[in-house]
Structures are given as structure tokens and as C-alpha cells.
Amino acid sequence: MSDSSELHKASPSNVRITAAPPSRDHDVQIQYRTLSLHVDSLVEGKQQTGGTNAADPASAIRQIDVHRLSVNEVYTRFSTSPTVGLEGDAVVRRAKAGKNVISPPPTQYWKKAANYIFGGFNFLMWIAFIVTILSYEPLGAPDPAAFNLGVAVLLLLVIIISATFYALVDWHASRIMNSIKTLIAENASVIRDGNHQTILAKDLVVGDLVTLSMGDRVPADLRLVQVSSDVRFDRSLLTGESDMIPGTVDITAENALETRNLALTSTFVVQGSCTGVVFAIGDKSVMGRIVAMSSTNKLKLTTVQREIWFFTKIISTIALGLFCVALIAWAAWLRTSYPGFETASQAIVNSIGCLTAFVPQGLPVCVALSLTIVAKRMAKRNVLVKNLATIETLGCMSVLCSDKTGTLTVGKMSVQNVAFLDAEFQVDDLKERTLAEGAPTAPPSLVPLHMIARLCNGAKFDSATADLPVEERTVKGDATDTAVLRFAEDLHIPSLDVSSDTLLGDYHKFFEIPFNSKNKWMLSAVRKRDSGVDLMPEIWVLVKGAPDVLFRKCTSVLKADGMEVPMTPNVRSAIFGLQERWSGEGQRVLALCRRSLSEVGIEPDMSGNDLEELMYAQMRGLTLVGLVGIRDPPRPDVPDAVKTIRRAGVRIFMVTGDFKLTALAIARQVGIVTQEKVDTLQDMRSSSSVKRFQNTKPQFIKPTDEDGDRALVLTGDDIETLEEADWNLVLGNYTELVFARTTPEQKLRIVEQTKARGDNTVAVTGDGVNDAPALKASDIGVAMGSGSDVAKEAAAMILLNNDFTSIVVAIEMGRLVFDNLKKVIIYLMPAGSYSEFITVFCNTFLGMQLALSSYLQVCFSITNDVVMSISLMYEQAEADLMLRKPRNARTDRLTNWQFFFQVYLFIGLMMWPCAMSMWFLYMKQQGLGFYDVLLVYNKWTDGLKGYSLDQLTRFVNTGQCIYYVTLVFMQYGGLLAVRNRRVSILQSNPLWGPRRNLVVPIGMTATALIAVVNLYGPGLQDAFDTTPIPGMFWGIPFGFALGILTMDEIRKLLVRTYPNSVIARMAW
């Protein structure tokens, strides 16, 4: 078949291959199931074939017939080879059809634009804009006020600025998501020209021979041609079902979506290994067709957004209600009782103050900008978060379940020791002894040990690096297999004819059971290539795995000289003692075993399932050849990071598949376990506190400060026996926990049980396929940048540099963003909401002229306040930020009663009287007393105290500007006061020291310049009746700012001095 005819079914378009976004998972699953049903109906209703639309996805998928072909027919159709793969010329020709990329669904920009324009507080601004226009025309006829038109233009400008900002934030968030997507499914392992190669997934072509192993994401639609007996796929992204789907070579269903001999794009290999031929790429893949069908993106609010939205709804409801009350009060009372006090146009404009004054227009902008700034900070520290909710949730982390290998340890394993029954060798010494002239003969048992290490191994070298030294070659496989592979490849003993090249030439591996977390061993069956015509073929079963599992299956053991002796209890005890000693030193210990199957009848055409059954049946009577000790040292910076995290009140649990003593040794080295005495399950059940949590609600089951630190180590076998009461003790009594020899199911159970108690926010680190269920179930899944695609998909956060210390940064940033958000809101509300609203209240209900015009209200909220609050977003962490206990996400809210007390009964209660006093002081200087200004209503007209209406209007304009300037400079004190929750400004000023924040003086300068422009700008004076003010009113507000700062300093001093006082309990 020609290349063009092969490729017409799989022409892609040019976009990076990726799964649908997380928010669209359910949509993908629904479309998948719908397609499957449609395909079934088409398969059953053959008569529809002629009339189907070629563009219909169900019809197109029905045309897939590759799953019905035999393996040889697959190779023939796609002109590829099981050993050579595609040749270079064929790849070049087929690549012209396009890249293996999926086009994203079309974005509904009109919906996004509507959300930008009408979202947040903008819908209130639209109401204000419309009624302001109405107050200009027609309600302002016959002489409409230019001021009203100016306010309307300003409101429209506010809407445009806010909408533009929301769009920019959304664009930045999409850039972060795109950077994360590039981490997933980048590469594919293929066979081309007879060589194993790693290429970009987007460069795959139809006919490529792709090899997949545990943890890989399927990069294109594949027809499986070779599978291991235990290969399993995770299709949950498509089906929504968590069950693992086995892979087969033979067809299992006519429906291409249901058959198990196809591996579909963006599913995962969660167990085993397989090889497949690419039959569809890009938009022609099943996932590509589903994405094309799924054209809607659902809005999903983050935790912070939900809380801010709730706050917005409350404020907006109150503001809208007060606006209506003000209008009703004018229509039903003021218009009749005080005729001439306000015209309809004036009443509307003044009532708009309820919307513009009570609503802090800058709040959504500040919140979005704050989260964006922190996300960028985290990205610079090599921490990528998938959504803004993750940032805020990080500050709540109370338990961290950490994997060991590659997270707490370097992840670069190397074989350090080799031992037989009667001899123990260090690898470096062994190499020197065997290579030196006149050296004693190497122990003969190294021959079978080398055979097992090299042939029973799931890792393999990349052929592109075959010419490099062993230590520099690229290896595809997990860290343990990689270490054993490098050891075996580097072991060369001429006297014993030990050589990897010779070994690989002599033996053929015909069956394999890859390592999995349940068995905890790997098995390879090998046959000698030439055993002679009349001789039985030499067949060996080679097994490598956990000693405590394999010891039970061994009946004999080798000495260093090759002599085989029975595995007696004394021998078993001696070997077990060696394992414990190595494990106590932090080494991972593997047992290498073998058994001859030369006398067992193995037919050449035996099926994979039959071979698997046979191998499981023969997993007995093994000979223990030897032990290898693998060292993976802790990362040098982990102990300090663990200390910092624990000091922040976060408990760290080690959850690993390693042997108990190995796990405990590493836990001691990094500081997860600090206690000399470490309890076991039996110790816990026999302790005096066994009934401590008998009648305690789950949210209160957690250790207290009075309990002190206690350590506990549990194995997977222990976990299987735990009941609810046991879990209460485990999670309520102990701060230092090590879970060893755990399976993925047990790790998931640990996470679920921990989340169910103590109001815990649980984070889980992991990098392997086995970690994915726990990562997804946790509140915060943390994947390593070098981890599997499955882990990255399940995680909420990715550590690009695999650095455990980045978690410290993440916790600090999570707490910092919550702190800074709270500071921003507390800064904005007293002046930008409370003090502005008082002027509208006095105007509407107390008959006073408006002390702050609508223009100055909006201008203050959207310019002065935002410019100043930006500096709070750049605040560094307070000294005690990482000393506080984690925030309880259920009970500790962003806004609580302490927050409202600080806003309305402390800072706000100082601000508005000070600003109002400046209004009355100026009026007093003009000869207008308190009651000449208050309760005046319609008496504010010609002749009041001998003034003309123009003079009175000028007094009001000047008084409004004085009120505005007073708010501007009082906010200096408000800003400096809110920078610290407890610490004095003397220890944390913004100009120098650890809390230096030069954005603060820049913001202060900018807000002062805005005030000057507002008062002295000729165009603004004409449009909005602003005017210069007397010099004394520029200076007095600084005294108010100092007073506010001083009062807050006194409050902080009392809080620090009397931490248990009423004032301390009222502190935010």
C-alpha cells in the first residue's frame, strides 16, 4: 500500500498534542460514551453505511478496521517491520502529512468577553453608567449638566480598564497552563531503522512502531502488536472509570472504542509494557475527534474566587439595596418634604454614590493581580501550579505525605554492595580486585548474579548513547532497574567470561512479568540460543525483587564459590540479618534468585496467558543467588527543608514501598523521625491512650502541642489490619509517621483516612504511576518534573527541578498570598468603601451636601487605592509566617468577624470622622457652622448666611476636594498599619531590612501625583468641578495618617504583650 493511501485516514493539524483541559473531563467522557453507543448502533445497523456522513465522528470511527487485522496484516498495511520499524525515507514521506497534534476546541470568545465586561463589580458599574446617562439626557433637560456626562464617561472608562485587566489575567493564566501542558506527553519511544529512538510525540507518523512501558502516556492511536502479560491501561480520561483495562493483541470487540487491542491517545500505561503500530494521529485520533465535538469550556471557580464572589454578592446586594433606598427616599420623602433640594437628575447621580462608594471597585483587580504575582514568583522558583486555587490551598497544608525515592533522596541509585551466603563485597573493591594483575580469582557466583542483574531488568539503554561510557548513557526505566543495569553492564570479568555482550548473545528472553507494587518482584524467562541438537534447551527463570517476599520462595542459596546449600532456618536468619544491617544503613536491598526450567515442558507456541500461569506456578523452589545493596543518598538540602516544614506546623509522613528499616533509616537522616523510640503497631495498641478518641468527632482527632512528638512505623501488612479506632490513634497520637512496604491502594487509603480526620489539608508527593491515585485523591498533588506523565496529569502542582525544598517555597507562597489578600481587603475597605459611603448617607438622609463627589469616589477607588494596594502584593513574608500553624480551610475564612471589626470599628472608625472633620473645618472657616451644613436640605440656596448659590457651590467643590485629599493621605497610615499583623513598623519598615518593599514609597508618590492632577488639571477642573485647596489641608492629613499608624502600633503592642487578652482575640 502506498504512503498516501496509508495516511489519508490520519492527517493532523498543527497544534501540540494534549488531553482536554481538566475542567472538560466530564464532557470528554460523555462524548466518548456517546460515540461508543453510536458506533455500536452503526455496527449493528449495516444498512446505514451508505448514507453516513464521512464527517460524522461515529461513522469515521466505525471505519477503523485495524483492530480486526492480524499482527502480520498490520505490518503489511503500514509497511513497517517488527524489528526495523519504519525506514528513514518512509518517515520523511509520511511526515509531510502533518504533525501529530490535536487542534484545541474553538474558544467562544463572546462568552469570555461578556464575562470580562459584566463580571465582578462591573455589572454595578453598568447600572451606574446607564442611570447617569439617563440623568444627563433626558432627565437633565433642558440644561443637562456636563458633570453627569463626565461621570458617565469615567464609569465607562472604569469598565473598560477592568475588562482589559481581567482579559490580561486570563491570558497569563492560559500561558501558565500551556507551560504545564508542554511537560506532558512530549516524547515517544520508537523503533526506526532498527534502533530504539526517543523522539518528540508531535513527530510521530502513521506506521511508526512505538514502545510503551509503565508510566507512559500513549502518544497516538496504536494497534497493539506485542504486549506483556500484565499490561494495563488507564482510560479514565475517556471513560471516567478507574478500572484498569488489560491490553491484548487479539480483537475483543467489533467496536473500535471498546476493543482492547487498541491503545488510544492520551490514555496511560499503568502496568506492564507493550509495542504498537501508529494507525491515527492528531485530529484523526479518537481523542482528536472528541475534542472537536467538545466545543464548550465550562467556567470553574477556584476556592479564592468563590470566596471573593460570595463577598462580592454581599457587597453588591447591599450597595444595590442602598441605591434603591436612596432613590425611594428621594421620591417618597425628600421630593415632597424638601422641594428643590435635589432634582431627579441630581438625586440619581447622588444615589449612584451608593454603588460607587460602597463597592470597592479595585478589589477584583487587586485580588487577581495578587494571585498572578505570586504564581509568577512560584514559577521563577521552578514551581508550576495548574490553577490559582492550588496557591491558596498550599497555605492550608497540614500533612505532607512524601515519597522517598527521588523526592527525599537524590534519585540516582547505584549498587554499592554485593553479598552471597558466605561473602560480602563492595562493588568498587570488587572491580579493582578483578581487574588488577595477580588478583585472586573472582567468586564464581558472580556469573549467575550478573546474568540475573542483566537479563531480569526492566530498564534499557538508549541506542543513541551506546558509544558513551556506561555512567553517561541514557537509560529508560526506573531508578532501581537503572542502577542494577549500569552495575551489570559495567561488570567485566574475563576470568569468568562475565560480559554483557556475551550474555545478550547467548540468551533470548522469551517471557517477562514486569515489576509491580503488588508482587514486589520481576521475573524473566530466558532460553539459551544454542544448547546443541540433542540437548534439552537450557531455560532459566530469573527473579529480582524484595528479599522479604522472595526469601519465602527460596529453598536453597549459593555460596560465593558457586556451591548450592539448603535454605535452613539458620541460613535464612543470617541472610535476613544482613538485609537488616544494610537496610539500617539506608540501602535498598534486592534479592536475586533463579530456577532452572529446562525439565519443564514449555511449548514454543505457548500463549502469553498460559506462560504467565506456568511462571506463577513455578515461583517456588528458587535458589537465592545473592543480594545487592543499592544506595540512594538523601538530598543534602532536605533535612533543612523538613525542619522548616515541621516548624510551620506541617506533619510529614513518609510513604514508601521500601523495606521498613531502609525507610526508617532515611527518615532519621532527613529529620522526619527524631525520636529515639519508634512505636510499632503492637506498641500503639497496647498503649494507655488506646481509648483516647473513642467519642471524639473526626475533625478534632489530631495531636496537640501538649502531646509532644511521638514516632510510629507501620508496614503494608499492618495497614491491612487497621480499623477505624486504630486510624484514630495513628493520626491523633503521632506526629512522626513512616509507612513502609505500601501498595498504591494502601497509599490511597492513607490519604483518605488522613483527610477524614483533624480537618487536615493533605499534600502528596510522587513521581511514579503508582502514586497517581493518591495524588488525585489528595488536596494538593505534587508531582516531580522528571516523573511519569500519569503523575503529572494527576497532580495539581509540578516541581520542575524535582527539589523537595521547593515545597517550602510553595507553602510559604500559599500562606503569603492569603496574608496579602487579607491585607489588600483590609486596606481597601475603610477608605474605599466605608468612608466614601458615609458621605452618601449624610447627603441622602441627613440633608448635607455631598462631601465627596461621584467622580472623586470612583477615581479614588479605581486609581488611588489600586496604585497603593499594588505595593501590598509585593510584600515579603512576615517573620512568623512559617511559624504559624496551618490555616484550617474549613473554619479560617478570608473574611471573619475580626476582619470586619478591624475595617469598620477600628481603622474605618478613625478615618471617616477625620475626613469629615476636615469638611466641617473648611465650612467653619467660611462662616458655616455645624448645623449650617447638616440637616439643611433645601435651605442650601441663595441667601444662606449671606452667600450666593455660586459661592456655596464653590465651598462644596473645595470641601469635596479636601475630603478626597484627606482620604488619600490618611491611607498612608492605613497602608503602613496593615503591612504587619503583629510586628511593629520599627522592625519592618519598607525602606530597608528584611521587609523592604520599595513599591510602598513609589505607590505613595503615585497616589499623591494623582491627587495633584485631579485638583490642578485644567480639563478635570472644568469637567468635574475639582479645585485647588488651601495649603493647610494638604498637611493636616499626614497627622491623621500618623495617628492611625500610632493607634495600630499600640494595638499590636498590646497583642504582643498580652497574647491571651480580649484585644489579642479581636486581632485579625
**Pairing mode, strands 797-799 and 383-385:** antiparallel
The continuous run of DSSP H or E covering 652 comes out as strand 651-655
Q: Are 663 and 654 in contact (CB under 8 A)?
A: yes
**Pairing mode, strands 736-740 and 651-655:** parallel
Q: How far is CA 619 from CA 101, 229, 519, 541, in A?
A: 45, 16, 11, 9
- One-letter amino acid of 317: T
The answer, yes or no, to whether the previous bond of 138 is cis (omega within 30 of 0) is: yes
403 counts as catalytic: yes
Grid cell 495513628 in the structure block, residue: 730
946 exposure class (CB count in 10 Å sphere: 0-12, 13-18, 19+): exposed
- If DSSP states are collapsed to H, E and C, what string results for 681-730? HHHHHCCCCCCCCCCCCHHHCCCCHHHCCCEEEEEHHHHHHCCHHHHHHH
3-state secondary structure of 810: helix
Q: Are 890 and 759 in contact (CB under 8 A)?
A: yes
d(CA 572, CA 565): 11
Contacts of 1005 (CB under 8 A, 6+ apart): none
The continuous run of DSSP H or E covering 227 comes out as strand 221-227
Comparing C-alpha atoms, which of 774, 696, 775 is closest to residue 731?
A: 696
CB count within 10 Å of CB 63 equals 13
3-state secondary structure of 562: coil
d(CA 629, CA 665): 14
Given 403, 481, 759, 819, the catalytic residue: 403
d(CA 176, CA 504): 46
The continuous run of DSSP H or E covering 262 comes out as strand 262-263
Q: How many residues does the chain have?
A: 1068
Q: Are 850 and 781 in contact (CB under 8 A)?
A: no
CA angle 204, 208, 213 (to 5 degrees): 85
Q: Are 472 and 532 in contact (CB under 8 A)?
A: no
Q: Which letter does DSSP use for residue 862 in this model?
A: I
Helices (H), 182-261: 236-239
d(CA 432, CA 792): 42
| The three three-digit cell numbers of residue 366, written as one number | 487587586
d(CA 1037, CA 554): 87
Residues with catalytic roles: 403
